[in-house]
Amino acid sequence: MKKMIIVMVMLVMCVVISGCGPTVDVVSSPHFSPVKYNQIAIVDVVGGAYNRSNDKNLIANKFQMELMRKGYRVIEREKVQAILKEQQFQASDVTSRESIAKAGEILNVPAIVLVDIPKFKDTVIITVKIVDAQTGLTLWMGTGEGKSNRALNTAIGVGVGAVAGAVVGKDSGEAGTGAVIGGVAGGITGYALSPSEEKLMGKIMKKMGEELPLGM
């Protein structure tokens, strides 16, 4: 048991030490006029990394903050979702010029924002696009990535769960079974959106936001 606890402490130290800053790359179209595209709506967060609505809202809110820092007027995500739902429009279907134009018309905005976070293991990759709602042309695009230590966090979750399960199991005379059950539970927890991943996404969004042209 003592050896297992020591291993857990070492894993936690690895997570802290191995953290490094994210990198971003941004391209802005010469047609992107902050005066014309001052009002924006974040339509959806897509990709296989996070499918829970709470995680999507959290991620969208982080970029909304950066847009607001630069002076853009952003429609609240809850209002966006309510309007699209009322019109029976699936935000996740915004893939073609026609669907983008329809979303822009429904929301009455000149530009929409799409956030894409694909599946990953130890690296978070975020792509954000600001798209003209009428033409479907990309006006601004930013991509950023950083190390998330997801696999290591999952291993820690498994280990911590196993230790806790073993302790509980020991009291009931079934330490081995408790460790297995605890390990499974800890592994599931390790795959949830962690505070470190949330912080990393915030850093990536902030760096992207620094490259946004000033809104009017």
- In the block, tokens 């609505």 appear at 53
**What's domain 24-147+195-210's superfamily in CATH?**
ABC-type transport auxiliary lipoprotein component (3.40.50.10610)
| pLDDT at 185 (0 to 100) | 42
| Domain assignments of the chain as residue spans, ordered by start | 24-147+195-210
| pLDDT at 195 (0 to 100) | 83
| pLDDT at 95 (0 to 100) | 72
**Distances in whole angstroms, Cα of residue 150 to Cα of each of 65, 92, 104:** 25, 25, 36
| pLDDT at 159 (0 to 100) | 52
- Residue spans of alpha helices (H) in the chain: 2-18, 53-69, 77-86, 97-107, 150-172, 175-190, 195-210
| pLDDT at 186 (0 to 100) | 41
Question: What distance, in Å, lies between the first and last C-alpha atoms of the chain?
Answer: 61
| pLDDT at 8 (0 to 100) | 47
| pLDDT at 162 (0 to 100) | 52
- In the block, tokens 């699936």 appear at 90
Q: Rounded to the nearest 5°, which phi and psi values hold at 71?
A: 95, 10
pLDDT tens-digit map of 138-180: 999 999 999 876 554 544 445 544 544 555 555 556 555 544 4
| pLDDT at 170 (0 to 100) | 56
| pLDDT at 196 (0 to 100) | 83
Instruction: Determine what percent of the chain is predicted with pLDDT higher than 70.
Output: 66
| pLDDT at 179 (0 to 100) | 46
Q: Are strands 73-75 and 39-46 parallel, antiparallel or unpaired?
A: parallel
**For the whole prediction, is pTM greater than 0.75?**
no
Spans of the chain, pLDDT less than 50: 7-9, 11-19, 152, 154-157, 160-161, 163-164, 178-191
